Chains A and B, each alone.
Chain A
Amino acid sequence: MRGRLNGDVPERTRVEAGRKRAQAAKRTVALTAATGFAVAIALVRAGHPATATSPSSSSGSRPASSSSSEEREREGTLGGGSIAPSSRGPAPVATATS
């Protein structure tokens, strides 16, 4: 604490150095804020469901919701729906036993 009050560096130099550091920090803050604003716009735009271009999809012109239909299509080709129980009513086994 005392070293800070009576250091080897003259007071004027210390004040000047502090001013320069503050100026540099303010410039950095302003630049970071401006860059952050541009990046945030890009992120917000990319995350919007109505945005025409989706960064994750291979075809850039499709809306974000099309990816789920692509998944459904892929599931169909793999036969993912074949294990689902039938919804057509009672099984014909009952008539066979009578």
Chain B
Amino acid sequence: MNGFDWYAARAAGVVAYALLTSGVLLGVLLAGRARLPRWPSFAVTDVHRFVSLLTGVFIALHVYALLLDRYAHVSVVTLVVPGASSYRPFWLALGTIALELLAAVALSNLLRKRLGHVRWRRVHYLTFGVWIAATAHGIGAGTDATAGWLRVLYLVSIGSVALALTWRVGRDAVTPARAPARRGRD
């Protein structure tokens, strides 16, 4: 079991990234009001929330295993202050920023009723920042980033999110008349 925490930290980071990507994709589908056959929007929302919670669980596991590991020298200060780490400070800072932004998004979910839909949605857009920072963090700080299987994961993730965003932006451009009506309801 020598070095298991180090392997667990990296594996949890990879799974958390895959889950985060899935959560972003489901979120884009929901925001774009995609009609999925046999899938009512409340069911997609339910799965989206579950995926987001599971992302949090694996991020917690990633962070906890890093704190336990003696080789990585990650302290609580390094986790909270971006750039405080001596090892690849820029790339680790992106991980810290992603973690803090995600915490803000999670907090906004808890305070959704108080914030109101418009404000909550604005904060929720930070998830894209989380995803971008997490992608860069994984590629820059991950010691396995050059491995073939991880390259495939990053390529599929980046490609699918780019496609989903293109679909979302294109959908808004095609139906601009719906926007004011919805805003009125919010």
Contacts and interface: CB of A to CB of B under 8 A. Distances in A.
Interface string B4-24: 000110111011001100100
Interface of B: 7-8, 10-12, 14-15, 18-19, 22, 35, 38-40, 42-44, 46-47, 50-51, 54, 58, 144, 147, 149
Give chain B's interface secondary structure class: helix
Most chain B CB within a 10 A radius of its CB, from A19, A21, A30: A21
Contact of A30 (B7, B10, B54, B149): B54
B97 to A, nearest CB: 23
Assign chain A's interface to a size class: 20 to 34
A33 B58 contact: yes
B42 A18 contact: yes
A43 B7 CA distance: 9
Contact of A29 (B7, B8, B43, B47): B47
7 contacts: A18-B40, A29-B54, A37-B58, A43-B149, A44-B14, A47-B144, A48-B7
A44 B40 contact: no
A26 B49 CA distance: 10
Nearest to A4: B35
Contact of B11 (A15, A18, A25, A41): A41
Nearest to B18: A36
Interface of A: 1, 4, 14-15, 17-19, 21-22, 25-26, 29-30, 33, 36-37, 40-41, 43-45, 47-48
Contacts of B11: 37, 40-41, 43-44
B43 A18 contact: yes
Contacts of B40: 14-15, 18
A44 B7 contact: yes
A33 B144 contact: no
